[in-house]
Amino acid sequence: MREYLLTLCVTAAVTYLLTGPVRKFAIVAGAMPEIRARDVHREPTPRLGGIAMFFGLCAGLLVADNLDNLNGVFESSSEPQALLSGAALIWLIGVLDDKFEIDALIKLGGQMIAAGVMVMQGLTILWLPVPGVGTVSLTQWQGNLLTVALVLITINAVNFVDGLDGLAAGMVCIAAAAFFMYAYRIWYGYGLEAAAPATLFAAILMGMCLGFLPHNMHPARIFMGDSGSMLIGLVLAAGAISITGQVDPDAMNLFAGSERSAVHQTVPVYIPLLLPLTIIAVPAADLILAIVRRTWRGQSPFAADRGHLHHRLLEIGHSHSRAVLIMYFWSALIAFGALAYSVHSASMWIVLCIVALSAVGLVLLLLPRFTPRMPHWAEGVLPPRYRRGRHHAVTYGTDEADGAEEASGDSEASAEEREAAVGAGLHGATAIGGRSRHIEAREAGTPR
């Protein structure tokens, strides 16, 4: 465990220290695109944060290769080399996209090439556990096709969810933490050396995300861009492929010795093997909804819009930070809930806790719909959004200006609302000025 923690810390430190210089480089290189209609941020922000994350990945692999207990992973398996090759290709494609905005189909082709390179070096799915059937061995082309599909889904799921400051890095870090606990248990709990590469990948992925998050939290000073989102998506997929398709489930003593007795009442037995897929449940759901939504409208599945889950959270009234925390909550609930259920599938307390936390999550999700309104006597000590009305001036009627001031000061108001309120405030100020001049002219006895 200490060597995994050392690898994690080195990866995080290198990523964190390099992000500052990378930000300056991105500004000089002009990797600061104009604000688009679907963007949430209001100021041009440099991208290319994936450069620091990639060098953090390289540092983590280099340190692990020189540690006694982790060096065996590189000697007995070609998976670390396969990961580095695929990561380098996907990172280069992402850097080009961050700078030059390459076509979506070209990016998809690059993702397929990166996945194919990893498959050629041995990182592929060999078998799958099928409920009611047992362990099914895959042919070479079936395993390769399934591996490429899983890589593409994971990369694009993470890329789609990268829409708010700190969202993608935080969600992937949560998923990597749950995945590390699961893989570490398989490696040291069952003594299966085939789980060692996935454990190492998860530790390095946590370090990459933790090192980048301080620079990317709201308000973000730098974005990871496609060079970062596609990179962490590929690393997450590599760990999932390694442990799902190469660790023999029969060796985990999950089955009772024969294939017929192996078929328990389906789900509880297969939860540990499906965990790598549950950890990307929220990004994958966002990906599927985006494809269905865009296809239904007659658009390309790769056409960007403002219909993602995090955009909807902002639309119903959540602030930027609260929307990110809600997405964190659901990711952690699904990932760690599946992990806990895989360890103690017979315990009803785990199921009850998951149900109770889901109810809490729904309440938090719908909180803006039930914004409380306090009595008038308590309005003086409450934020403006909880007040029933506005304090009016005695003769000047400045309620429009107050509305503009409140909208501009409330972080949860949208840009359109702020502009409308400011316009109303200016109109009110013009009316006030005209009224004041009329009063002065009348008192002086001159026509206005």
As annotated, the binding site for Mg(2+) includes: 159, 226
Which residue stretches of 263-347 are H helix?
267-278, 281-296, 309-315, 320-343
HEC states along 385-414? HHCCCCCCCCCCCCHHHHHHHHHHHCCCCC
What is the DSSP-derived secondary structure letter of residue 264?
A: -
Do 342 and 179 touch, CB atoms closer than 8 A?
A: no
Q: Which of 55, 194, 178, 192 is nearest to 123 (CA)?
A: 194
Do 54 and 231 touch, CB atoms closer than 8 A?
A: yes
Beta-carbon contacts of residue 120 (< 8 Å; ≥ 6 apart): 82
**Strands, E, within 51-139: which ranges?**
127-130, 134-137
Beta-carbon contacts of residue 376 (< 8 Å; ≥ 6 apart): 388, 389
Residue 131's CB: how many other CB atoms inside 10 A?
14
Write phi, then psi, for 165 (nearest 5 degrees).
Answer: -60, 125
What is the distance between the terminal CA atoms of the chain, rounded to a whole angstrom? 84
CA-CA distance, 273 to 271, in Å (whole number)? 5
Beta-carbon contacts of residue 264 (< 8 Å; ≥ 6 apart): none
Q: Which of 330, 341, 332 is nearest to 267 (CA)?
A: 341
What is the DSSP-derived secondary structure letter of residue 35?
A: P
What interhelical angle do 267-278 and 225-246 show, nearest 10? 160
Give the residue ranges of the annotated binding site.
159, 226
Q: Which of 391, 400, 94, 48 is nearest to 216 (CA)?
A: 48
Type of residue found at 268: P
